[in-house]
Amino acid sequence: MKSSIAESPFFDGKDFELNGNAMHVAASQGHNHILQILLDHGGDINSWTRSEKMSVAQFFAPEFRYSMSPLYNAINKKHKHTVKFLLDKGASLVVEKPDFSRPCIPSSQRRLNALHIAAKYGQDHLVRYLDVEYGIGIDLPDQGGNTALSYAMESSENLPVIQYLISEGADPNLMDDEGFTPLHRAMTFPDVEEAKLIVTALIEAGADMDAFNNGGHNTPMTMAIRFAQSELITMLVDAGAFVDAFHLRLALNDPQGGTRNDAPACVDALLRRGIPEGSEDHVKRFLQEDNAEAAEILHSHGIGLPDESPEGIDKLFQVILDLEPTDDDENESLTFLITHYGDVIRGSEPEEVIAKLLTSGHICKKGIVSLMNPSINTNWRGEKDKTLLHILADDIEWHTLGSDFSLLHALLDHGIDVNAREKDGLTALHLLIKGNNLTPDSDEVWFTEVLDLLLAKGLDINAVDNKGWTALHYLANSLDVDSLTLSVSSTTAFTV
């Protein structure tokens, strides 16, 4: 007595889950003789699995749930003999559950067909067989608008399939429902050498290199940039693809912040035909966004600022100075401007610029040291008759973060007077105590280092201000007894 295999329970083995029945299992294992037995006992050659997830590509592709036939399982597992067996027995070329209101043939169904699956898994001999023997339309789409060529973009190892489909007239510019073409997909391949062969084949077949997807955000070029495919960018540029300043920005910007490690190679590729209009604006924007590394890469390729007049440079310098300081990091944007436009920024009074930097809240040690060269006026006086050493001493703990005393060394090397007094008679040592909020919990290491450097240049540690106070008076006035003892013990130079 025959049983209905098509109505038998779905199979969920411990190590083998198909969500299908015995027909699906036998097809997936390539067991033609078992399939014949099942067919003899009422097996349905076009029965369907419950549900199976699949997408056309690894990236930028929606995932669909399909109900599949045994023919799908045979193709998926590359059992060509089983594929032929099932087709000879009348299996439908539509391998997903069809729309039963329409004829169950590929040309009438916007569904997955056998050619799609054979192309997806790189089975070039089966692709030829299905094309020649069954005449499945090369450009027939599935429910997502994907053709066999789209499915062939699953892997860069599918070059023989791609070449065959193109030779048979597959249209490389057909878009899926998301607006992606095969050339978009080719930009995501991790193996660049294999990808280059596929990109060459698609371009030679007339693929549109500037096609936008439906969202209007992605072309093959932007995809290549997002996936850091500098060699593929080179191919697109050399073949005439559109390049503008936006592409440069995209190549340089890391979504996680900062600059991408692969940015220089991508920028090199994008600039092979010259500098796009408006690129200078991005140098300025990167500096304002605290991304001097990106600005430096563009500058190294001959891209400057949009306004390089003295007025333009000074204005941008002030804009960056007015930005919120970035924690305890060096402001590389200020350093960039000083490095490349130092003569303009320096002007006739570099001391005034240095004073402005020291009081801005930004850390710019490298830039300030650069402004001191070749020389500065060590007798310059600013507000309240302060020298640059006074101004530095006011906030020296901030400017020596990481035990970097380069600013102090530079001023001392230029011969600045360590005993100079400002309006109220305060020396740098007075301000060192007053301006840096020394507390019982303060780390005295930086203080000792600074004090030793000043002493080596002749510091008068007992100098008094207009009130008659020494630095020790200010220290005693701000700390408890224990802290005072600690501070005094850090040097024997104080006279108590």
Asked if omega into 374 is within 30° of 0 (cis), the reply is yes
More confident residue, 459 or 328: 459
Q: Which residue has the higher pLDDT, 238 or 63?
A: 238
Per-residue pLDDT of 64-83, as tens digits, reads 778 899 999 999 999 999 99
**How high is the mean pLDDT of the chain?**
89
How far apart are the C-alpha atoms of 24 and 18, rounded to whole Å?
Answer: 7
What's the confidence (pLDDT) of residue 368?
96
463 alpha carbon, distance to own chain's centre: 56
- Predicted pLDDT of residue 485: 53
How many helices and strands in the chain, by DSSP H and E?
Answer: 27, 4
Nearest to 455 by CA among 421, 412, 404: 412
Long-range Cβ contact pairs of 474-477 (< 8 A, separation 24 or more): 474/430, 474/433, 474/434, 475/433, 475/438
Highest mean pLDDT among 5-9, 338-342, 402-406, 430-434: 338-342
For the entire predicted model, the pTM comes to: 0.83
pLDDT-derived band at 15 (thresholds 50, 70, 90) equals very low
What's the pLDDT band for 188 if we cut at 50, 70, 90?
Answer: very high
Question: Is residue 429 scored above 90 in pLDDT?
Answer: yes
Higher pLDDT, 3 or 362: 362
Is residue 9 pLDDT above 80, yes or no?
Answer: no
Give the start-end residues of each E strand in 186-291: none
Confidence of residue 432 (pLDDT cuts 50, 70, 90): confident
- Distance between CA atoms of residues 450 and 396, nearest Å: 9
Tokens of 356: 């402005």
Q: Give the model's pLDDT for residue 59.
A: 72
Confidence (pLDDT) at 8: 46
In the chain the domains, ranked by start, together with CATH numbers, are 377-496 (1.25.40.20)
160-169 residue pLDDT tens: 999 999 999 9
pLDDT band at 13 (very low <50, low <70, confident <90, very high): very low
Q: What is the C-alpha to C-alpha distance for residues 483 and 496, in angstroms, rounded to an integer?
A: 15
Per DSSP, which regions of 303-441 are E strands? none
Residue with tokens 């050498």: 193
